[in-house]
A = this chain, B = another copy of it.
Amino acid sequence: MLWFDGGLTEGPVPFDLADRGLTLGDGVFDTALARHGRIVFEAAHVARLAAATATLGFPVAPERIGEAMRGLADAAGRAHPLAAIRTTVTRGSGPRGLSPPAEPRPVLWASAAPVGTALAFTPLTLHPTEIRRNETSPAATLKTLGYLDAVLAAGAARAAGFDEALFRNTRGHVACAGTGNLFAVIDATLVTPPLADGVLPGILRAEILSVRAPRLGLRVAERSFGVDALLRAEAVFVTNSLRGLAPVTAIGETAYASPAHPVVKALAADLHGAFAA
């Protein structure tokens, strides 16, 4: 099921092979959870995607993005209690070469897919990849279409018997999982890498930093840390908009009792209502 050109469709839809999203990865997207037809943390998802299009110079109005997300979530909700809503915006078509058209005509669409009720809060294991997250690129903090590094690292992780990849950045700092932000409890503080380390401004990351952790009285900080600190962490978890908070039970050969850690349990309990089917 798709939202395209202002309305619902089952496709196929017309699409220009000269679209720069396809030819150059010149676009951004958002993945949100729709729960009973409503986008969880809708305002934050809309604002982040709209901000990304503005940063890249092809601004799309939040109203237009929200209409697509809501329209598709409402329709998907009739069939599925939980659905993933992926909203994509490209700079639109352009001539040959890297130079964007002077007046871009962005293309916006959204697609829906059912999500299993067992996905959120399920523990996972991480496989450190040698591919570094490139924090020197402005794209590192935007959810752009260039996901091949994550695809390759995820494939290697699965081949090695792990669920997900763990990325460091080019300076050796811990950055993120392949499809989510990473938090660790280190020295009794909940820490997560700053955006400057090349991580996406996750919706749930911000929700935990600004709302949930303070409300629960947890000591929380955005700061850089290395693999050594991560390996001696009391608990580790990954956040994204579909998984919610996923406790990490292993990073490479190091095991973690993350699911039983009081900080993890408190946050998971606090977030549970937003993700329950």
Are B12 and A170 in touch, CB under 8 angstroms? Answer: no
Give the residues from 1 to 32 in chain A that come closer than 8 angstroms, CB to CB, to chain B: 2, 4, 11-26, 29
In-complex Cβ contact of A154 among B11, B12, B98 (8 A): B98
In-complex Cβ contact of A16 among B12, B20, B86, B147 (8 A): B12
| Residue A136 CB within 8 A of the other chain | yes
Query: In the complex, which residue of chain B has the Cβ closest to the Cβ of A22?
Result: B22
Contact with B along A149-182 (1 / 0, CB 8 A): 1111011001000000000001000000011000
Are A111 and B155 in touch, CB under 8 angstroms? Answer: no
Interface residues of A, CB < 8 Å — how many? 55
Minimum CB–CB distance for A12 against chain B, Å:
5
Give the residues from 125 to 155 in chain A that come closer than 8 angstroms, CB to CB, to chain B: 130-132, 134, 136-139, 144-152, 154-155
Minimum CB–CB distance for A154 against chain B, Å:
5
| A40 cross-chain contacts in B, Cβ below 8 A | none
Are A147 and B88 in touch, CB under 8 angstroms? Answer: no
Distance of A19 Cα from B12 Cα, bound (Å)? 12
Contact with B along A236-272 (1 / 0, CB 8 A): 0000000000000000000000000000000000000
Query: In the complex, which residue of chain B has the Cβ closest to the Cβ of A14?
Result: B12
| A111 cross-chain contacts in B, Cβ below 8 A | 17-18, 96
Residues A2 and B25 in contact in the complex (CB < 8 Å), given A113-B95, A134-B132, A138-B152: no
| Residue A194 CB within 8 A of the other chain | no
Copy number in this complex? 2
| A134 cross-chain contacts in B, Cβ below 8 A | 131-132, 134, 137, 149, 170
| Residue A225 CB within 8 A of the other chain | no
Q: 27 A–B contact pairs at CB < 8 A?
A: A4-B17, A11-B16, A12-B15, A17-B109, A22-B88, A24-B150, A25-B25, A25-B147, A26-B151, A57-B155, A84-B96, A86-B96, A96-B111, A96-B113, A98-B147, A98-B178, A98-B179, A99-B154, A131-B134, A131-B136, A134-B149, A136-B170, A137-B148, A139-B149, A145-B145, A145-B146, A170-B170
